[in-house]
């Protein structure tokens, strides 16, 4: 099966559409106003508690620049936030390439937008399992699915998308954008991709190590057994 070979990209990508979904909301009060100051036309897409936090930060003007992911995709979040961002339009927006005509046609066909920056950090799995006596079920519930998928998609497409996983990076990213008329350079996108894949690798390794350390019976005892399916 053939794969697209990209031979052309832009060094500077202007940040117009930003997807934000974070467990750790530290620094949003710096990042969000900073992005709006640099590019007043920037559009935010967000979910759940992150959406509420951004709405609070922006204030009365939020209606013009902030959108629920569920409103954008047309699919409401499932109970407990089980599925929020795993949607075709989201991943099309993350993975499209600027100079691929078929990709651009797909965006138009689905009335989707190219997402230029993803700001995501993950459910606190390591913090959860560090607590004494934590149950296997509580640990399992803190295994993030949508977050790693978005991070990986954005990082894979570093030729166009900035994947931001660490709140400590917000100020330096804003500083570069301030100097570059609201754009993020290829170098910074590449460096952010390196950090993003390291972030998801450590996250997955932590989950794997935790499950390997557990006895089957300890895990099985957490659940009341139902009837077999079928």
pLDDT of residue 226: 55
Instruction: Tell me the two tokens of residue 89.
Output: 């339009």
pLDDT in 10s for each residue of the chain, 230 residues: 456 777 788 889 999 999 999 989 999 999 999 999 999 999 999 988 999 999 999 999 999 999 999 899 877 665 555 566 678 889 899 999 877 888 788 889 989 999 999 999 887 888 888 899 888 888 888 888 888 999 999 999 999 999 999 999 999 999 999 999 999 999 999 999 999 999 999 999 999 998 888 767 677 777 665 556 55
Instruction: Tell me the two tokens of residue 72.
Output: 């954008």
pLDDT of residue 28: 97
For the chain, which residues make up each domain, given as ranges?
Answer: 13-220
pLDDT of residue 59: 95
CA distance 57 to 224: 43
pLDDT of residue 76: 66
Write down the residue that tokens 């709405």 correspond to.
Answer: 55
Q: Give per-residue burial for 83-118: e unless 16+ CB within 10 Å, then b.
A: ebbebebbbbbbbbbeeeeebeebbeeeebbbbbbb
CA distance 155 to 198: 11
8 A C-beta contact, residue 198 and residue 148: no
Q: Which CATH architecture has domain 13-220?
A: 3-Layer(aba) Sandwich (3.40)
- Spatial CA neighbour of 3 closest among 95, 104, 79, 87: 95
């Amino acid at each position: 099966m053939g794969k697209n070979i990209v031979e052309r990209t832009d060094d500077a990508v202007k940040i117009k559409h930003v997807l934000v979904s974070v467990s750790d909301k530290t620094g949003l009060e710096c990042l969000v106003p900073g992005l709006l100051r640099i590019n007043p036309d920037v559009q935010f897409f967000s979910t759940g508690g992150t959406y509420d936090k951004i709405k609070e930060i922006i204030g009365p003007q939020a209606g013009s620049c902030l959108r629920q992911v569920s409103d954008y995709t047309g699919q409401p979040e499932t109970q407990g936030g089980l599925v929020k961002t795993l949607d075709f339009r989201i991943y099309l927006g993350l993975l499209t390439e600027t100079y691929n005509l078929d990709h651009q046609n797909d965006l138009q066909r689905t009335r989707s937008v190219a997402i230029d920056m993803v700001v995501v950090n993950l459910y606190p799995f390591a913090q959860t399992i560090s607590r004494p006596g934590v149950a296997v079920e509580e640990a399992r519930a803190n295994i993030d699915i949508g977050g790693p998928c978005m991070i990986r998609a954005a990082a894979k497409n570093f030729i166009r998308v900035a994947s931001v996983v660490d709140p400590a990076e917000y100020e330096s990213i804003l500083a570069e954008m301030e100097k570059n008329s609201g754009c993020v350079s290829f170098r910074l996108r590449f460096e952010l991709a390196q950090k993003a894949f390291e972030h998801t690798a450590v996250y997955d390794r932590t989950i794997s190590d935790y499950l390997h350390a557990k006895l089957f019976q300890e895990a099985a005892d957490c659940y009341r057994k139902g009837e077999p399916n079928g």
